[in-house]
A = this chain, B = another copy of it.
Amino acid sequence: MQITILGGGGFLGRKLAARLAQDGALGDEAITGLTLFDLQAPPAMEAPFPVRCLGGDVADPAQVAAAIPAGTRVVVHLAAVVSAQAEADYDLGLKVNLHGTLAVIEACRRLSAAPRVVFTSSVASFGGGQEARLEDDARQVPGNSYGAEKAAAELLLQDASRRGMLDAVSIRLPTVIVRPGRPNKAASSFVSAILREPLLGLSTELPVPEEFAVWICSPRRAIDWFLHAMTMDTAPLGPDRGINPPGRSATVGLMLSALESVAGPEARALVKHAPDPAIEAIVGGWPASFTAERARRLLGFSEQESLEEIIQGFIEDDLAATRAERGL
- Interface residues of chain A, those whose CB is within 8 Å of chain B, are 90, 94, 98, 102, 127, 137-145, 148-149, 151-152, 155-156, 158-159, 162-163, 239-240
Contact = CB atoms under 8 A, between A and B. Distances in A.
Contact of A152 (B141, B155, B240): B155
A14 B141 CA distance: 33
29 contacts: A90-B163, A94-B102, A137-B139, A138-B139, A139-B139, A139-B140, A139-B240, A140-B155, A141-B158, A141-B239, A141-B240, A142-B155, A142-B158, A142-B159, A143-B162, A143-B239, A144-B159, A145-B159, A145-B163, A148-B155, A148-B156, A148-B158, A148-B159, A149-B159, A151-B155, A152-B152, A152-B155, A152-B156, A155-B155
A98 B149 CA distance: 12
Contacts of A127: 239
A139 to B, nearest CB: 5
Contacts of A139: 137-140, 240
Contacts of A152: 152, 155-156
A95 to B, nearest CB: 11
Contacts of A240: 139, 141
Contacts of A144: 159
A307 B162 CA distance: 35
A136 B152 CA distance: 19
A134 to B, nearest CB: 11
Looking at A102, A152, A159, A162, which has the most chain B CB atoms within 10 Å of its CB? Answer: A159
Indicate the member of A127, A140, A151 with the most B CB atoms within 10 Å. Answer: A151
A78 B25 CA distance: 50
Nearest to A147: B159
A119 B155 CA distance: 18
Contacts of A94: 102
A235 to B, nearest CB: 16
Contacts of A90: 163
A98 to B, nearest CB: 8
Contacts of A148: 155-156, 158-159
